[in-house]
């Protein structure tokens, strides 16, 4: 296994990307002859990945802000479309270069500074694993309760954890080919069940229903901004991992085709479950944020409730596979000097520690983790737009060799830091921090000037680009 002077895994073992075999590629370059993925494969992968219960919860959360159903639906659609347009853009450079997101994004920040971003991506991945696996386990417990085992306790949690998490670890360990292949089965089953749930909820649709007593114009705009923040924070997090899968597309795949595929498949499935969440929340007085699965039992017949729970379990599995796989790549990009499949095991061990604590010692910690995940928009938003812009101005072409290079690389910067990217990232994060408003924290601008309106999803990226573009133009002739 070759490494450069910075310790990167430049070339893993030969071997390609077998289905139900061990993928040998990691953060290193995927040769053109191994890129057998198609846009259809990518679409099926995203449908299976995004039909998971977290997106229902996002819809429920959006409805709790007190807007009418119709306005909440419009805001949901706007947030989802914006998020997956960005996710689609982040899928183009990895397909061109044949390297994953956390390697291809290095060019905008410098090869050493980019390791900090990769470490943050790894941490975010672990947090999402804890959330997704917990949701899957709670769905298993709800299934047990439906069939009469209402107090399954520790044993029930152990069974749920083993069934949901262990299977996901195995598939992520095997790698890209296996994950993409398995997703085709999940996408069909989860899609059919999700559509059935939507059809069941439609007859009771009341577009004018709301939990609020009526907002004035400013109150309505504030609620819309907060909902956009919730939706974008939940969906745009994929920019840290979205390119890890299309890196197996042929490098000649049209950029427009990649973006359209991600938009309709990932965005469409995320929108579908968000709509389901809004409709279900508008038809019950139960707190679906606290008890999503128990709260919806009275809203659907038993013949549909059981498949709904099975779909929730399956959705947790599919999303966990993506998250664990990408977290392993992020760990490599951060400097963990081991092979991809071993990185998955390290990641799984760390996430399991958190899962065990949440499930068996303090379930309240899950609320804290959710709050942390919501706050990741402070970093993800500015980081994402900086490297998307940087890749766009390079016509989406990043040199995979230079991305793994040392001081001789054109992406090295000064001492391993490309200062325009680093400064812009910090500026964008400060702006996002100052304008964020989440349940446990409001930034100073949001609290004192915006009446607790959340504009972090907008302010962070805008400020980051406003700083990066002129600094990059001034620096580029000398450094690049």
Q: List the structure tokens of 135.
A: 């949701």
Q: How confident is the model over 30-64, as pLDDT tens digits?
A: 999 999 999 999 999 999 999 988 899 899 999 99
CA angle 44, 186, 195 (to 5 degrees): 85
Residue 245 lies in a domain: yes
| DSSP H/E element including 437 | strand 437-438
Residues whose CB falls within 8 Å of the CB of residue 466, separated by 6 or more in sequence, listed in order = none
Q: How confident is the model over 392-429, as pLDDT tens digits?
A: 999 999 999 999 999 999 999 999 999 999 999 999 99
Residue 375 lies in a domain: no
SS3 at position 367: helix
Secondary-structure breakdown of the chain: helix, strand, coil percentages, each rounded to the nearest 5: 70, 0, 25
- The residue segments making up the domain with residue 349 are 34-365
Residue 345 lies in a domain: yes
Q: What is the pLDDT of residue 440?
A: 78
- Structurally, the chain folds into a number of domains equal to 1
Nearest CA to 61 among 463, 418, 367, 399?
Answer: 367
Residue 400 lies in a domain: no
Looking at residue 206, which CATH number applies to its domain? 1.10.4160.10
Nearest CA to 175 among 104, 97, 249, 248?
Answer: 248
Residue 381 lies in a domain: no
Residue 324 lies in a domain: yes
Torsion of CA 177, 179, 184, 190, to 10 degrees: -170
Residue 239 lies in a domain: yes
Q: How confident is the model over 229-263, as pLDDT tens digits?
A: 999 988 999 999 999 999 999 999 999 999 999 99
The stretches in the chain having pLDDT less than 50 are 1-7, 9-13, 479-480
Torsion of CA 189, 351, 374, 427, to 10 degrees: -130
By the 8 A CB rule, do 431 and 459 touch? yes
Q: What is the pLDDT of residue 213?
A: 61
Residue 394 lies in a domain: no
Residue for token pair 């846009």: 39
Q: What is the pLDDT of residue 257?
A: 97
Q: What is the pLDDT of residue 479?
A: 46
As a whole-number percent, the residues of the chain with pLDDT over 90 amount to 71
């Amino acid at each position: 296994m070759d490494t450069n002077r910075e310790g990167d895994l430049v070339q893993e073992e030969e071997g390609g990307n077998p289905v139900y075999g061990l993928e040998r590629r990691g953060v290193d370059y995927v040769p053109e002859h191994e890129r057998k993925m198609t846009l259809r494969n990518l679409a099926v992968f995203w449908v299976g990945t995004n039909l998971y219960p977290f997106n229902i919860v996002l819809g429920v959360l959006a409805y709790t802000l007190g807007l009418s159903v119709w306005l909440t639906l419009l805001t949901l659609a706007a947030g989802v479309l914006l998020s997956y347009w960005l996710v689609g853009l982040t899928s183009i450079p990895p397909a061109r270069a044949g390297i994953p997101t956390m390697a291809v994004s290095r060019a905008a920040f410098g090869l050493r500074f980019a390791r900090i971003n990769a470490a943050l991506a790894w941490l975010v991945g672990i947090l999402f694993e804890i959330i997704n696996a917990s949701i899957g386990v709670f769905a298993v417990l709800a299934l047990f309760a439906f069939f009469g085992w209402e107090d399954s306790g520790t044993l029930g949690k152990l069974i749920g954890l083993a069934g949901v998490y262990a299977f996901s670890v195995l598939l992520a360990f095997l790698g890209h080919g296996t994950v993409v292949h398995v997703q085709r089965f999940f996408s069909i089953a989860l899609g059919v069940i999700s559509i059935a749930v939507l059809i069941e909820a439609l007859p009771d649709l009341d577009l004018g229903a709301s939990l609020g007593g009526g907002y004035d114009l400013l109150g309505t705009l504030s609620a819309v901004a907060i909902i956009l923040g919730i939706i974008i924070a939940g969906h745009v997090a994929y920019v840290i991992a979205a390119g890890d899968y299309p890196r197996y597309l042929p490098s000649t795949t049209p950029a427009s085709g990649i973006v359209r595929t991600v938009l309709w498949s990932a965005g469409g499935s995320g929108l579908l479950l968000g709509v389901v969440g809004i409709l279900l929340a508008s038809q019950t007085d139960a707190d679906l944020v606290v008890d999503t699965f128990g709260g919806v039992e009275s809203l659907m017949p038993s013949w549909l409730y059981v498949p709904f729970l099975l779909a929730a379990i399956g959705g947790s599995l599919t999303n966990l596979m993506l998250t664990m796989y990408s977290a392993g790549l992020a760990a490599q990009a951060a400097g963990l000097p081991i092979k991809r499949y071993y990185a998955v095991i390290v990641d799984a061990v760390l996430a399991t520690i958190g899962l065990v604590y949440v499930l068996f010692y303090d379930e309240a910690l899950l609320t804290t983790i959710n709050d942390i995940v919501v706050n990741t928009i402070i970093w993800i938003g500015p980081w994402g737009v900086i490297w998307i812009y940087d890749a766009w101005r390079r016509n989406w072409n990043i040199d995979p060799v230079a991305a793994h290079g040392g001081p001789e690389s054109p992406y090295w910067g000064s001492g391993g830091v490309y200062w325009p990217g680093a400064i812009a990232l910090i500026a964008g994060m400060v702006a996002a921090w100052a304008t964020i408003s989440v349940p446990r924290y409001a930034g100073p601008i949001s609290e004192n000037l915006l009446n607790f309106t959340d504009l972090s999803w907008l302010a962070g990226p805008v400020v980051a680009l406003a700083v990066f573009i002129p600094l990059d133009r001034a620096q580029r002739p000398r450094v690049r």
